[in-house]
């Protein structure tokens, strides 16, 4: 036999549970299966006013929980935007430059070397795609690699500024609906 205890909010099977709480009520195995199916579908099992088990929808998340979830979404969107690449005309025409973390690290090395040594270490080869989408490691002068590096820095700063604005919007929101309406 299956029992439900409102005080522990738990089920007990008399064939395996020798100690069943005194407030436990016997329930039909079909009702037990219905309740477990409801729980599997996201409902919570609680006691009703009579102490009988019922499946109810969970409470909505708190405003703080909604804000925390939205901040995580914005963090991911910020990272994706930073790593999406940039278009820069440092070579005289538009080229697409990668901006994943490893690309930023490589650009930093090229940028610092170009600023320090100028033409002495040229050419500075860096991956980019031309207007037709052909990727290649193309030669850049010191001035060109600095131009591209400045564009990458501006891109990252602008994206972080946008992220900061979104975090402020989230912080200022007073309802879950306001938070959910915030988009990248």
How far apart, in whole angstroms, are the C-alpha atoms of residue 94 and residue 103? 18
Residue ranges in the chain assigned as alpha helix (H) = 29-40, 63-82, 101-117, 142-172, 176-180
Specify the pTM. 0.76
pLDDT at position 5: 97
Calculate what percentage of the chain has a pLDDT beyond 90: 99
Report domain extents, the chain: 2-56, 63-180
**Interval 143-179: pLDDT, tens:** 999 999 999 999 999 999 999 999 999 999 999 999 9
């Amino acid at each position: 036999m299956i029992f439900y205890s409102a005080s522990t909010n738990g089920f007990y099977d008399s064939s395996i549970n020798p100690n069943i709480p005194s407030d436990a009520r016997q329930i039909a195995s079909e009702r037990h299966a219905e309740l477990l199916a409801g729980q599997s579908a996201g409902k919570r099992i609680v006691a009703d006013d009579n102490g009988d088990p019922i499946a109810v929808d969970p409470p909505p998340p708190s405003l703080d929980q909604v804000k925390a979830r939205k901040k995580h979404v914005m963090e991911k969107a910020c990272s994706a935007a930073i790593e999406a690449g940039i278009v820069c005309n440092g070579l005289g025409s538009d080229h697409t430059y990668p901006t994943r973390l490893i690309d930023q690290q490589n650009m930093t090395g090229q940028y610092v070397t170009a600023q320090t040594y100028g033409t002495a270490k040229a050419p500075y080869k860096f991956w980019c795609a031309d207007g037709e989408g052909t990727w290649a490691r193309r030669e850049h002068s010191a001035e060109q690699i600095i131009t591209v590096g400045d564009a990458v820095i501006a891109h990252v700063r602008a994206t972080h500024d946008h992220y900061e604005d979104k975090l402020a919007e989230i912080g200022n929101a007073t309802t879950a609906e306001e938070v959910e309406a915030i988009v990248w």
